Structure 1
């Protein structure tokens, strides 16, 4: 696994860390073919980081990238992560970053993104958010353990944490 993904996994909620690590290893070794790898681009986010993303396209320059304020995303509780695909540039290094959902970089006749999504959803992760019946955040995967962000926020405010950590009890 690449160092960046591994560092981001270590910040996820303890309840999903090992599962995400094992899933990425499985995807990269057994599902994606040679020349394609999956990477975690985002994992745990502080409320402040979430507020900064929310401000983008509103009070700060750039396109809107989030409809969630601090506390309103499962990223804020370490229960969500975003991904991208990395493609070998021909040198054996995975330098090309992609969010192309139709690309079949491993040439097996199935879009790489679809292969990842099918596997992660088969092991209990939800892909993207659904707003008004439409998915809009395809790089996003989460495991909510039956909790909404509102319930997570309540636990956060009550300081209902796993002892000695910043993570809420599930």
Structure 2
């Protein structure tokens, strides 16, 4: 599996993210790859409606609970968060591996070294796939219309 393929696959999911957050996601893919860890982006920007559908899972819709955030209460809704999955490669094919192992924790460390907040560090709801960069803005500020800076250079 080549790095260029992992980066190409990520682009669709990075659409809608703040440019700095998208750059940090790409840097995470690159740095993990350098350590022999293959990750894919599984989620990026989510609309309020998409967030509410996810929130309903395990509550009013069949399935397991995957988020504690209603629409407007997730950094995904503002283009400041993304989710990843660690993958195995079998005969050139990426196979998602949702089993927590050392690779997940290493990806978390790499993300934090890039200035990202990692959901695996959260106390009440561990969200190992989740990374966010908030620019110091709260969800209340974002809901009120405050915007992150538009021109920022990413740390790579």
Q: TM-score of the superposition, structure 2-length normalised?
A: 0.83
Give the Cα separation in 2 of the matches to 1:38 and 1:53. 22
Structure 1 residues 154 and 121: alpha-carbon distance in aligned structure 2, compared to 1, 3 A threshold:
same
TM-aligned CA deviation for residue 130 of structure 1: 6.4
Aligned 8 A contact 1:99 1:139 in 2: no
Give the Cα separation in 1 of the matches to 2:148 and 2:112. 23
Matched, 1:93 2:96: no
Unaligned runs of 5+ in 2: 150-156
Give the Cα separation in 2 of the matches to 1:135 and 1:60. 20
Give the Cα separation in 2 of the matches to 1:113 and 1:21. 17
Greater share of helix residues, 1 or 2?
2
Q: Which has the larger radius of gyration?
A: 1
Aligned 8 A contact 2:15 2:45 in 1: no
Structure 1 segments, 4+ long, off by >3 Å, are: none
* Counterpart pick for 1:114 among 105, 115, 118: 105
The structure with higher relative contact order (CA 8 Å, sep 6+) is 2
* Counterpart pick for 1:142 among 112, 120, 132: 132
Number of residue equivalences? 144
Report SS of the residue matched to 1:134: coil
Give the Cα separation in 2 of the matches to 1:145 and 1:38. 24
Q: TM-score of the superposition, structure 1-length normalised?
A: 0.76
Unaligned runs of 5+ in 1: 103-110, 161-167
RMSD value over aligned CA atoms? Answer: 1.9
Aligned 8 A contact 2:31 2:110 in 1: no
